[in-house]
Each structure stands twice: as structure tokens, then as C-alpha cells.
Amino acid sequence: MPDPNPPDPAAPPAGRRADLIVEGAYVVTLDDRRPVIVDGSVAVAGDRIVAVGSAGDVDASFPESARRIDASGCLVMPGMIDTHTHLFQVLGRSLGDGLELMAWLRDFMLPMAVHLTLDDVVAAVRLSSLMSVLAGTTAVVDNHYAPTDTATTLAVAEAVESVGLRGAIARGVFGSRVEGSDRMGVPDELHAFSAAEELRIMDECLHQRPPGSRVEVWPMPENVVYVDRDLIAACADLAEQRDLRWQAHCSEAQEEVVIFTDVHGERPVEWLSRAGLLGPRATLAHAIWLNDDEVAAIGAARACALHQPVCNQVISSGVMRL
């Protein structure tokens, strides 16, 4: 019977000291050569993982450590990545239950959001960030859309980073009202800045948190339905210029697709593709109500469609075509 944990030729030399060893676990490495190590250990020195291997190999390489955690029967794996969330919305947990998406937005969440202060948001984001860490998430993309002034956006990024997370604040960009804003019932307060002001605020945020920061700031035209198409294109261009990703809610509800098509004469992803905005930097949140051509366009452009299965069920948005 073959050894389930063959010696690792890349194991570190013996005699090194680790600050922490998590030992005796099922270790999920995501390594094609050996995806799961039975009775495995992980050694940490400072803020770096310095060894992953069988418990015997790691123990031989690090006979001394400041701390050991017995993880027998537990799973040790790389941290999970939350690709789209709204951390401040923890303030509304359990409120609005039973509403479908459009009613939930119009009657509850958006009206609540416009009354939040910087202090409200920072407290909520810290709480949600801690909950993320406890659930095994180590990186988040937080779509923060109220308030979105420079000071609040940077405070949200600092709150996320202070907990130990990495990721990005996808800053909600609205610009001036458009027809889709009226048909979606978006409060005037969310359209607080002109397109020029939105881009200026983004520039101020990027000056403080440039690309490569532990928590970056990305442009996020909040929804393709109620953000001017020129501003969406400007956000995509900014992401390209500054080596960032950009995000947008897209085709989350059937009604959104109907409104966009009524106003513009084509479906959301059809327009994004025709306008040359799809690509590896584009990350489309939910992306549920797509036709075959739109699915093919996203794939061909190597854009990202973000799957939120729990949210989609709770507010009855639909089921993504996986």
C-alpha cells in the first residue's frame, strides 16, 4: 500500500525554529501534486507560512516552536475569498426578511443606506470583517456604496485592514441620475456626486491607497442599469490605467435586464461586450439573467462572473447558470 504522505523533497532543512505549528490536521494544499495531506502540519514564522507537509516532516524540520496547536480531526486550508459583499449591511440583518430583491432594495436597504454616518459604517464594517475572519475568509471585495465620500471610503478600507483582512473596497459610483435610477427607485441621496466628482474622489482614494495596497480601492459603477454608460466606461478605463479591477452589479434581476433593454435597445452584457468593456479586469456581480450569447461573451473576454448563491436564494434573485 503506497504511503499516503510521501516525503516532500522540498521540505525545509532540519533545525529551524517556527513561531507556530498547526499539527495533525487534514491539510488542503490546492497543490495538483498532493492536494490533501493526511496528518499534516503547517509551520509559521513571523507572518509567513514556512512549511507545509506531513506532521513527521514538519516536526523534524522544526523541533522547537513557540506555540503548537493540535488540529487533529480538523481541516486546514487556504483562506477563502469573498468576491462580492456589502459589509455595512450587517446593520440590516434580519430586517426586510421575506422580500424579493427589488422590493428589498426600494423599500428597505437603499433607504436605510442613505442615513448611515461614517461612525455607523466603520462599526458595521469592523463587525462584518471579524465575522468574515471567524468564517475562514481572509480576503474580501466589499462594495461600499453609502456614504462614498473620500474620508468614509478610506475609513472603510482602514477598518477592513485593521482586522487583518486583505482585498479591496469596490467604491460604489453613481454619478448623475439616469432613467434607470427612476425606474429602479434609487434615492436621490445616492446620486450625490457628478461624474467628474466621482472620478475625483476615486483619484483621491487611490492617492492614499495605490494599487498593491493590502486593501485597494476599486471603481464600482453600482449597477449598469442606473449608472450612465459613459461613467461606466470611465471606471473601466480608470481600472485599466491604474492596474486595478472594476466591479458592477449586472443582470441580478430579470427586471434590471428589462429596464436596460427598454432604455438602450440591447441587453447589459451585450452592450458591455460591444463597447469593449469586458475583459479580465471586469467583475460582474450576480450575473444571473444572461442569455447564451452573453455567457459566451463573458467567457471569450475572460471576464469574471461572481456567484452569490446564498444571497440569490434569500432575496429570490434566481439561479446563476453555472
Q: Rounded mean pLDDT of the chain?
A: 94
- pTM score, two decimals? 0.90
Q: What is the pLDDT of residue 32?
A: 83
**pLDDT tens-digit series, residues 133-158:** 999 999 999 999 999 999 999 999 99
Q: What is the pLDDT of residue 5?
A: 56
Q: What is the pLDDT of residue 322?
A: 84
Does residue 3 lie in a domain region? no
Q: What is the pLDDT of residue 6?
A: 56
Asked which of 34, 57, 76 is the last residue of a domain, the reply is 76
Residues 65 and 160 in one domain: no
Q: What is the pLDDT of residue 64?
A: 83
Residues of the chain scoring pLDDT < 50: 1-2, 9-10, 12
Residue 261, domain CATH:
3.20.20.140
Does residue 34 lie in a domain region? yes
CA distances from 151 to 94, 137, 171, 278, 280 (A): 29, 26, 12, 30, 29
Q: What is the pLDDT of residue 161?
A: 98
Q: What is the pLDDT of residue 9?
A: 47
Does residue 86 lie in a domain region? yes
CA distances from 311 to 49, 57, 106, 277, 308 (A): 33, 43, 17, 26, 6
**pLDDT tens-digit series, residues 82-103:** 999 999 999 998 888 889 999 9
Residue 52, domain CATH:
2.30.40.10
The dihedrals phi and psi of 176, each to the nearest 5 degrees, come to -75, 160
